[in-house]
Amino acid sequence: MSQFVTPHKIVYGPNALGEALPVLAGMGKKALVVTDAMMGKLGNLGLLTDALASAGTGFEVYDAVNSEPVDGMVVEGVRRYRETGCDFMVALGGGSPIDTMKAIAMCAASGREIASFMGESYAGPVCPMAAIPTTAGTGSEATQFTIITDTERDVKMLIAGAPLIPALAIVDPRFTMTAPAGVTTATGLDALCHAVESYTSRKAQPLSEMFSLSAAKRIFENLEVCVREPSNVETRTQMSLAATEAGVAFNNASVTIIHGMSRPIGALFHVPHGLSNATLMEACFGFALDGAYDRFARVARFCGLSDSADDREAAEDFMSALHRMLTELKVPTLAELGVDRAAFHAAIPKMARDAEASGSPANNIKPVTVADMERLYREVYA
C-alpha cells in the first residue's frame, strides 16, 4: 500500500491571494508573517498585510530570514510568536521563510528545541500554517520537509513529517514577478531536480509520477523564457505550477543523490541551495543514468526531448537537453560561486558521509556508495 499526501488546500493562479483570503483569515486571529526584508522592499509584504488587514486579521511581521535558515532564526521566531500573541503563521518568500515557518510551528507547538528533531520523523503538533511562495522553486509549500542548519555541528538537518505540510498553499504567480534572473534560474533548476529525482527514485509511485512528469515538462518549456522575459505572466504561472507539482511529487517519492550531496555544500560553503543543486546536476544524473535508462527515457519522451524508442538513446537525449539548458542559463561553477578549491577537496570525506547520513542517496535506483560520492564531488570541482 502507498500513501499520497498533499496540502489540505491549494489555491493557485493570478489573484490566488484574493481567492484564498477567506480561508486564510479563518485560520486565526493574529498571524506571524515569516518572511525576509526584501519582500518588504519589493512590495510583496504589503500585498499580504493589506489583505490581512482588509479581512480584519491581525499580524506580526518577522522578516529576519535573510539567508538559508539556521537554528537561531527559529529560536527568535518562536519567541516572537509567543510574545506577540499569534495563533497561526503565514510564510511569504522562497524556501527559506517557508522552511523557517515550519520549524517555528513545530517548536512553538511542541515546546522542544530545533536541534532535538535531527533525524526524527515528526508526528507531533504544529501551529496552523499557510505558505505563499515567491519563487518557482523549492515546492516547500507542498512538502512535509524542513531543512535547518545546526550551526554548532555545521550540518543541515532534514526534518520530515506529515504535520509539516502547510494547511494552505497560495500559489500566486504575482509574487514571483519580482524574482531576479539569478533567483529564477536557481529555483527553477531546484524544481527540475525535484521533478526528475522524484521520478527516478526507488520510492516513485503512480500518483507521484504524474506530478513529476508534468512538472518536468513545464520547466523544460518555460524556464528559459521566464529568465529572458521576467514579466511574462503565462510563463511565471507555468513555472509556479511546476514548482508546486514537483513539490507534491518529491513530498511523496523523495529525492535522490543530488539533494543528498547538495546539502553539505550549502552547510559548509553557504552556497544557495538551488545553485548547489545546479552544479551537481550533470555529474549526478550522469552517474544515475545507467541504473535507470527507462526512467530517464520516459522523462525525455514526455518532455519532447527525444523521439527515440531506444531507452539508452532517449536517456542520453535527456542529458543533452539538460546540458544545453544549463549552458543557456549560464549556471556558475563552484569556483565562480566563491568556493575555495582546496577547502572543498579537504571537506569531501565529511560531505560524502553527511550526504549518506541524510538518506536521500539511498533512494537512487542505482546503488551509490560514499566512495562514489567522493568521486562525484571531485568531478564537479576538478
> CATH 1.20.1090.10: which residues of the chain?
181-380
Total residues found in the chain within this entry: 382
DSSP per residue, 311-346: HHHHHHHHHHHHHHHHHHTTPPPTTTTT--HHHHHH
Q: At which residue does the C-alpha cell 498585510 appear?
A: 49
> CATH 3.40.50.1970: which residues of the chain?
9-176
- pLDDT band at residue 156, thresholds of 50, 70 and 90? confident
Gap between the Cα atoms of 152 and 368, Å rounded:
28
Question: Is the separation of the CB atoms in 99 and 141 below 8 Å?
Answer: no
- pLDDT band at residue 155, thresholds of 50, 70 and 90? confident
pLDDT at 1: 65
Per-residue pLDDT of 266-305, as tens digits, reads 989 999 999 999 999 999 999 999 999 999 999 999 999 9
Question: Is the separation of the CB atoms in 138 and 273 below 8 Å?
Answer: yes
Write the CATH number of the domain with boundaries 181-380. 1.20.1090.10
Q: At which residue does the C-alpha cell 507521484 appear?
A: 208
Supply the DSSP symbol for 158: E
Write the CATH number of the domain with boundaries 9-176. 3.40.50.1970
- pLDDT band at residue 153, thresholds of 50, 70 and 90? confident
Amino acid symbol at 93: G
